[in-house]
Structure formats: C-alpha cells, structure tokens
Amino acid sequence: MGDECFIIPAPAGSGSYNAVDEVPAALARQRKIQGKLFEKHILNLGPLIHPKTGGTINIDDAFVATMQDNFAKGVCDIVQVPLANDSNEHVEHPGANLGEVVGIKKRDGKVYALIDARQDADKFGKTYLGASAFLSTNYTDSATGQKAGPALLHVAVTNRPYVTNLDGYREVIAASSDNTGEVVVLTPPEEPEVPLTKEQLLEQLKKDHGIDVEALQAAAAQPPAPDTAALSTAVVEALKGAGVKLTAGEDGELKLSDVSAAVVELAADNKGLRDSVDELKLKAATTEVDGYIDAGRLLPKTRETAIEMALSNRKGLESILAPEDKPYVKLSSQEGVPANDGEQRQEQDIDAEVARLTADHGQFFTPNGTRPRQ
C-alpha cells in the first residue's frame, strides 16, 4: 500500500477496534481524492427494466462482483460524474463533469458509488439530490479487445433518476497529509438501532414531551359531557313556547330547580289532559256501539269487544257490523211512529177509530156507539 495510511475510529463506547472487510474509499485508483467524498446509492439488487429495450437485467451478486472487479482493473479507466443536461439526458462531455467515482460498494442489497466531488461540491445533497448509473452489461476491454462483462461507465447527477427510491448523498470524511501521503478516515460501522417497545415509547413521550398517551386514550373513550347550559336554555325556550310560566328566584335568575318544577307541572297537566281525552273517546265509542246494538247491527255479547275496536281498530269494527238493511235482530216495534201519549196510544187510536165510524154511519149507531132500536 506504500505510504497510504488509514485511520479507523472505534465506535462510541467501544474500547477496541473493529475489523473492516471493505474500505469505503477507492484503493484501486491511483488518483488522490481532491474534493469532498460522498457515498451515493445507485442500484438495488434484483431485476432492473432496461430503459430502452424494456428487457430485464438481473442485478445479482455475480453482476455486482464483476462490475467491482472491472472497476478495480480500470477496464473503464475514468468513471466520471457528469451533470445531466437540460433534457435530463446522460452526457459524456468533459465540460459537464463534476468529479470522479473512486469506489464501488455493496451493502444490504444495495450498490453504492463513492464520488469525489471536485466541482460544486457544496451542492451535493442540497441542490444536486439524485444520481443515475450508466452501465454496460458487457463492456469491451480496449486493452484486450475482449468482452469483460458488466462495467460502470459513469454516474450522472440528476434530480430525476431512472431508478427511484434511492438513498441520498452521504458525505464521507477524508483528509490528506503531506508527510504520509493519502490519509483516509473511515467512519465507524453503524450500530443497529433496536426499536423501542410500546411501553418505552409511551414513557419517552410522557417524560420528554409531556404527552400522556394513556390518559388521552382514556379521555377519548369517555362520552362527551352534556352541554347543560345549552340544554337548560333549550328547555326554557320550549316551555315558554308551550305557554308555561317560569318563576325566577329572588336573585332574578332561573335555576335548574325552577325549570325542573315547570317540567313536572307541564307533565302533570299533559297527563290530566290525556286522561280527559281518553275518557271522552271511551264515551263516544260506547255511545256508538250501543247505537249499533239498539239498531240490531251488533249482538249485545260483542259490546266490550266492539268498544275496544271502536277505539283502536275501526276496520275490525266495520267488519263485524251487520248491514243497515239486514240487522242481526229485527225490531218488533215500528220505527218512526212517536208515542205522543205513552203506552195508552194504541187504546186511544182504537177509540178514535170507533168514534169516527159511528159518526159516519149514524143510521146504524148512536153517538155512544150502541145500536138504535128498530
């Protein structure tokens, strides 16, 4: 490795060094890092739809390993970082170049490019947000003339990449020293984050932010308290509309007890009114049914049932009524003949008829109704 030095800080709280299987800076390239070093997620392991042919490219471990090997061998000698043009197209013009890819890494099913940003370095991750890898699935090695397999040709800076859901730019610390050549400072491995339990989250919210989630849940489960003021106002207005007089206390304000007393009084009045109405309805029904019995249209034994029907089932009552011209019971007395003198009217009618006949035939009868002597 010559005079290159690597500083690998131990993780926080650790008393020992960690072994590193892969150095996240370019060791295969001889050019030194000249700007700011960024790590950028460019590919995911798995199927990739070709943007032009529509065919499927399988980005697997073997594909990535060959791409890394070709990068280390310098099959594509310069892997630049051009800025996409106004049409969001990949360009290879040196004037559009912002830096150089100095390393390729694979981690957790993702492929990363280490980018040495030498121009507009402060815009990476701020204004320059995305990147798009330009690949050859079977690049020709110009040194041998043979097909070398997958190779990374450049990484274009674009804010509308073809592959989406990629991690953003992450700056990697790098330093240099005149005495020791290139010094690369490697960041410690990221500690896996253990998710908090529900109880721990609730306690953290309560302690750090003053949010008692359990108390809020309990309050939400309770039914809302009634608006007693609005309810009282509505009841008072309803009572006034019904003509109920409300008497305020000595302080001139209506109390809940005053409203309650008025409601009780109104309820009692309504009950008395309902009883009176029910009594009148019963009398009317009884009179109606007795009239039908007197006319022979109902049998006396059905009187109680007929009265109930008159109150609640008019159709039922009509179904058991006999027609007016065909009563159940034919009356023995003539209708429409008033008895002016009571029970003696028949006898009086006979005497009057006898008197009329004797008067008309005086040759046969005397005025007192006896025959004359011959």
Which range, of 69-83, 193-207, 308-322, averages the lowest pLDDT? 193-207
The more confidently predicted of residues 236 and 51 is 51
Mean pLDDT of 321-336: 70
Handedness of CA 161, 162, 167, 172 (dihedral sign): negative
pLDDT band with cut points at 50, 70 and 90 for residue 181: very low
Query: How much of the chain exceeds pLDDT 70, in percent?
Result: 64
Q: Which amino acid is at 128?
A: Y
Helix, strand, coil in percent for the chain, rounding step 5: 35, 20, 45
For residue 93, how many other CB atoms are within 10 A of its CB?
Answer: 10
Q: What is the pLDDT of residue 337?
A: 47
Q: What is the pLDDT of residue 37?
A: 93
- Whole-number mean pLDDT of the chain? 77
Whole-model pTM? 0.42
Q: What is the pLDDT of residue 21?
A: 43
Mean pLDDT of 188-205: 75
Mean pLDDT of 3-13: 48
Quote the tokens at residue 17: 């060094």
Question: 120-132, pLDDT tens digit by residue?
Answer: 999 999 999 999 9
Q: What is the pLDDT of residue 16?
A: 41
Question: 224-273, pLDDT tens digit by residue?
Answer: 666 666 766 777 677 666 666 666 655 556 666 666 666 666 666 677 67
Assign 360 to helix, strand or coil. helix
pLDDT band with cut points at 50, 70 and 90 for residue 71: very high
The more confidently predicted of residues 67 and 244 is 67
Q: What is the pLDDT of residue 273?
A: 73
pLDDT band with cut points at 50, 70 and 90 for residue 322: confident
Quote the tokens at residue 311: 């109150």
Which range, of 30-39, 67-76, 99-108, averages the lowest pLDDT? 30-39
Q: Is 105 exposed, middle or buried (0-12, 13-18, 19+ CB in 10 A)?
A: middle
Asked if 169 and 39 count as a contact pair (C-beta separation under 8 A), the reply is yes
DSSP assignments along 227-287, one per residue: -HHHHHHHHHHHHHHTTPPP---TTS---HHHHHHHHHHHHHHHHHHHHHHHHHHHHHHHH
Which range, of 112-126, 164-178, 322-336, 353-367, averages the lowest pLDDT? 353-367
Asked if 222 and 240 count as a contact pair (C-beta separation under 8 A), the reply is no
Asked if 157 and 131 count as a contact pair (C-beta separation under 8 A), the reply is yes
